[in-house]
Structure formats: structure tokens, C-alpha cells
A and B are shown apart, each in its own frame.
Chain A
Amino acid sequence: MNDTNSPTQPQNETVNQQIDRLNQSVLNLQTLADRARAQGDFVRALKLSNQSVALSGDINRLCEQQQVQAFESSTWQILSAKLDALNVEAQMTEGRMQDASNNVETAKTIIGLVGKLVSAF
């Protein structure tokens, strides 16, 4: 029923290949269950469905492991660091924009003030 540790499992099979192979087994079981159900053989269909549910559980655990490995991989970590760096740059850019805006406000005040001073000369 459970092919995860099957002796026929090819050597050096990657986790991806293992998942694909087990998924194919689940799909085959689903086809057989569909056929039994269509023929009114509900007990046989249920047994086949139980097997496919159990095998799906094994695959899900493999997928979880695979995802954890992916998240811990250097590719993922590097991308995360790149996003952090991008956000630091974005914050600095936001600061520069704020500076530009402040400078304009200051210039506005000074120009108005200078005009009044000149009038008073």
C-alpha cells in the first residue's frame, strides 16, 4: 500500500522524482476507485480510496520536507536578503524625497521673507 519505502524505489531518486512517482500511484488508485464506484462496487472503491488517502498523506509529508528544505536553501535566503536590502534602499529614497520636499518648503519661506525684507530696505 505504501510505496514511500518500496524496495523497488530507484537508487538516487530525487525527492521531486519520488513525489512524482507516488503521485502517479495515487492517480492510478483514484482511477481504479472511480471504476469500482461506477460499477456499484462501493466496498472495493472505499478500500482503494483509503489506500490513495494514505499514500497522499505520505506525499504531503514529503512535500512539507521538501518545502522546508527549499525555504532553508541559499537561494531562498539570498532572495530574502535582497528584499531586505531593497527595502533599506527604498527607505533611504523616501528620506531623500522628504528632504527635497523640506528644502522646497524652506526655500518658499525664505523667498517670501527676502521679498518682505527688500521692501523694507
Chain B
Amino acid sequence: MQLMKTRMIFADTLASAKRGMTKMVAVMGLTALGLSGCAAGSANLYAQPVAEFAQAVEQTSMAVSTYASLQQHLTVADTIARTAQSNKAVGFTAADCDPAKTSVKCRLTDFKSGAALLPAVATAVPPQVAMMQKMQIYARLLVSIAGAESAEDLQVRQRQAETAYDDLFQGVKDAKSGNLADVKVDLKAAIEHGLGSLYLNNKRIELLAALVDAGDPVVAELCDMLAKLSVDTERQFMISQRSRVSQLVDDFDVLGTAYRKNMGGLQIAEFQSLRRTVLADAAREAGMLQAVLNVNAKTAFARMQIAHLELRRALILADSNLGKAIVAIQNFSAAAYDANRAYQAILGLM
């Protein structure tokens, strides 16, 4: 397809060369590149904001992965608490932990019933994580379309355009016996801009605008759903975790009542060892509770929604609101990094 296009352009060019040099220049410079009708604009205005948006999406995605594991933490903690409250025995079959066995998982079981007590490591990707992975793909494609070219890349592109123009101009000049002073400036600007950055930049904005416009309702819906889910998860974790910390503190205090002045050395060692363990658990769980209270994941989702909306407005209104979009993306980025940092701290406590 590309070869055919090139052949067609080349055939047109040769035909034009026969008809007249100035006309050929106009055909190549304006029609073949589709420059007519292109609005003015600076190169790669959107590369940086879109890249920042994508990085913030990555951070949010990492935070979502961590908060999805909070649910599993609750299940494990609940099972441990229930089992410890009873006098039940726990079973374990070492042979089940075998990579050759795909159907049997490595797990602790109820000794009597053989039922799984503590779940093996979850292998399925939680749905909210899968959803954010799709959002990440979208954000990465936006970056690719926005063209994260460096200043050096743009200069190379511009130099190539200048060389192409110089070759063409020299050819036209030779054919016209050097009488081209009046057309040189306009044509140089048209061709160099076309071959350099202007044409591609306009194309980029046009394509980005259409895509971001189509994506905005989907991103908004995703943000709403994940924000609600994060609020529900955090609230439930807070209520359960408060019970768990209370229980550990009460365990510690009740253990304290078992202290006797006439305890032997072994009893004192056991007493202290048990109390140390319970106190360390209580401190860790209280730390995790505080860390979850500090997280505000829904803010990251709300700001992601606003950032995408402002990006859409800026693209559709041709740069007039880009400043507002940049601020919105920076706000989203700050919230996303905060949420991810907080969740990483929680992960460290699990």
C-alpha cells in the first residue's frame, strides 16, 4: 500500500516536472502533503501533558493493584482470628505444594473437614486491576499518537526537510535559469513546514482530538465505578481493621492479667514472648489502619476524570485551554502519586 502510494506520488511528480517546474512545486508542496486547510500550531504541544497523564494512570493502576489485595488481606486476617478463637486443629499436606500438581494448591486446611482455611495466593487478576490495565493501554497509545519526540528528533526532521527543499529548489532554479527570487520565500516555508513538523503536528492534534473525544465518556464511567469501589473497600477495611486492632490490644491486656510475681524463669520468658508478639501485631495492624485512613484513592479517580475532560476540551478547542488541561493533569498526577505511595506503605505492612 505504502509502495503504491509512493509510486503514485513519484509518477505525479515526474509528470509535473514535464509540465512546468513551478506548478510541480505547488503540487508537491501543497496538494501531495495535504497542507491546504491546515491550521497553524506549534510542534508537539501535547506530547508532554499526555505523557504525564499516562504516568499518572500507571501510578493509579499500581494503587488499584494494592487496594485489590486489601480484600485478600481481610479474608486471611478473618480466618486467622476465627481459627485462633476456637480450639480447632489445622491441617497441612506438604506434598500438595508441588509444581507438578496443578489442581491442588498449597494451603492450610481445617483438620477435621479438610476444607481450605487459608487461600493460596490468588492467581486471577482482580477485575478492577484488569480494568486499569486496559486504561493503561489506552494512555500508552495516546502517548504514542501524541509523538513523544525529543527536540533533537524534531531538529533532524527539520534538517531533512530543508535538504529536500534545497535539492528541489536547485532543480527548479536550474530549469528556470536562476529566475526564481519571487517564489523562493513562500515555497520554502510551505515545503519545509510540511515536511518538518507542521503537517504532522496538525494531523496529530486532529487524530488525538477524535480519539480523546470518543474516549471521554468511557474514562468518566470507569473513574466513577473505580472511585465507588475504592470507597467501599476502604470503608469495609477500616471497620474490620478496627475490630482486629481492638482484639489484639485486648489479647495483650488480658495476657497481662496472667502475670504472677512468683512465676518461674520459663513462664516469664513465655509470658514476655507472647506479649511481645501480640503487641507487635497490634502495632503493625494499627499502622495499617492509619495508612488506609490516609489514602484517598477516590481523589485520584476524580482528578483522572477531570484531567481527561480538560485534555479533550483543549484538543477540540485547538489549544485555547491547554493551560487548564496541564494544571488538571498535574493535579491528577499529584493525587495518583500520593495514592500509590500510601498503598505501597500499606503493602509494606501486610
A binds B: yes
What residues of chain A have their CB less than 8 Å away from a CB belonging to chain B? 19, 23, 26-27, 29-30, 33-34, 37, 42-43, 45-46, 49-50, 52-57, 59-60, 63-64, 67, 70-71, 75-76, 79-80, 82-84, 86-87, 89-91, 93-94, 96-97, 99-104, 106-119, 121
CA distance A87 to B137 in the complex (A): 7
B71 at the interface (CB under 8 A from A): yes
Q: Are B78 and A37 in contact (CB under 8 A)?
A: no
Determine if A37 and B253 form an interchain contact, defined as CB atoms under 8 angstroms apart. yes
Q: How far is the CB of B315 from chain A (nearest CB, A)?
A: 12
- Which among B58-66, B100-108, B206-214 touches the partner chain? B206-214
| B contact residues, total (Cβ < 8 Å) | 82
Counted as pairs of residues, one from A and one from B, with CB atoms less than 8 Å apart, the total is: 220
* Pairwise interchain contact A45-B246, C-beta atoms closer than 8 A: yes
| Interface locus among B167-175, B178-186, B259-267, B322-330 | B167-175
A18 to B135, CA, bound (A): 33
From A37, A80, A99, give the contact of B131 (CB < 8 A).
A80
The 0/1 profile, CB within 8 Å of A marked 1, for residues 1-29 of chain B is 01001100110011001000100100011
The interface stretch among B110-118, B234-242, B296-304 is B234-242
Chain B contact surface mostly: helix
- With A and B bound together, what is the CA distance between A54 and B21 in angstroms? 88
Shortest CB distance A54–B (Å):
7
Q: Does B75 interact with chain A (Cβ within 8 Å)? A: yes
B211 (CB) vs chain A CBs: closest residue: A93
In the complex, which of the residues A49, A84, A108 contacts B195, with contact meaning CB atoms closer than 8 Å? A108
B148 contacts the other chain (CB 8 A): no
Tell me which of B89-97, B218-226, B338-346 binds A: B218-226
